[in-house]
Amino acid sequence: MCPVRTRPALEAERVLEQARSEYAALGEAWDNYQVDAELLGTLLFGLGMQRVPDLRVGERSYAGFLDAGARLVAVEANHHEHRQRFSIAHEIGHFVLHYLPGRVRGGIFACTSSDMEVRAAPHGDGARSLHLRQEAEANRFAAALLMPEAAVKAMHKVTGGRVFGLARHFKVSPKAMEIRLDQLGLAYSSK
C-alpha cells in the first residue's frame, strides 16, 4: 500500500478540489500553494473561526477546539501563526473525517498541543487508542491540506529541499514541513 495516499490525505485532496471549484464559480483562483484553511472551513462547511488567547475547556489548555454541531472552531491565539493554521486545518480534519460521516457522538473535539503531534495510529479498540487514531488522522488531513502533494513536489524541486524555505512558503512550522516531506518520501536538508 502506498503510505502517502491514506484516507485522510485523499479526503484533504477532495476538499481542496471542492474549494477550487467553489472559488472558480466565484470567478476567483484558489491558491493550492498557500492554502487559506480558515477561509476554506468557512466557505465549504460554514465553520466560524475564533482565535482565543489562553484557550481552556475546564482546567485544561488546548491548541484547538471544535464544536461541530455549533460550527465553531477555536484555536489558541498565543501560538505562532503557523501553528494556529495547522490547528485550524486539524479541526477541519475532525469535522470532515469524524463528524460528517457520523463517527462520533456529540461532535466536540478538544485537542492539546501533543494531540497535534500524534503521527502513528495505534491498534486496539480502547478509548485511548481510538482517540489517538483520530488525532493521527486529523494530523494527516491537516498536513495534506496545508501542504498539498503536487504543490510540495513542485516547490521541493525549486528550493532544493531546504526545510526552512519550504516551511516559510507553506506557512507551517519546520517540524510540520519535515513530517510532510517524510510522508512524501522527499529528501530534505534541515536549514
Whole-angstrom distance, CA of residue 103 vs CA of residue 86: 22
The least CB distance from residue 179 to Zn ion, in Å, is 16
- Residue placing its CB nearer to Zn ion in the complex, 11 or 135: 135
- Residue placing its CB nearer to Zn ion in the complex, 111 or 179: 111
The least CB distance from residue 156 to Zn ion, in Å, is 28
Tell me the per-residue interface mask from 118 to 157 with Zn ion, x by CB under 5 A, - otherwise.
-----------------x--x-------------------
| Segment lying near Zn ion (by CB under 5 A), choices 2-10, 12-20, 47-55, 106-114 | 106-114
Record the cell numbers describing residue 48, joined without a space: 466560524
111 binds Zn ion (CB under 5 A): yes
The least CB distance from residue 135 to Zn ion, in Å, is 5
- Expressed in angstroms, the distance from the first to the final Cα of the chain is 31
The binder of Zn ion chosen from 38, 67, 115, 149 (CB under 5 A) = 115
Residue number of the CB atom closest to Zn ion: 111
Secondary structure (DSSP) of 124-158? S-SHHHHHHHHHHHHHHHHHHHHS-HHHHHHHHHH
- Residue placing its CB nearer to Zn ion in the complex, 107 or 151: 107
Strands 72-76 and 48-52: parallel
Secondary structure (DSSP) of 156-188? HHHHTTBHHHHHHHHTS-HHHHHHHHHHTT---
Record the cell numbers describing residue 22, joined without a space: 467553489
- Under a CB-based contact definition with an 8 Å cutoff, are residues 145 and 92 in contact? yes
- Residue placing its CB nearer to Zn ion in the complex, 21 or 61: 61
Q: How far is CA 73 from each of CA 40, 104, 108, 128, 153, rounded to the nearest angstrom?
A: 12, 17, 10, 23, 30
Tell me the per-residue interface mask from 35 to 64 with Zn ion, x by CB under 5 A, - otherwise.
------------------------------
Whole-angstrom distance, CA of residue 139 vs CA of residue 130: 14
| Segment lying near Zn ion (by CB under 5 A), choices 5-13, 104-112, 117-125, 155-163 | 104-112
Residue numbers of the site for Zn ion (CB under 5 A)?
111, 115, 135, 138
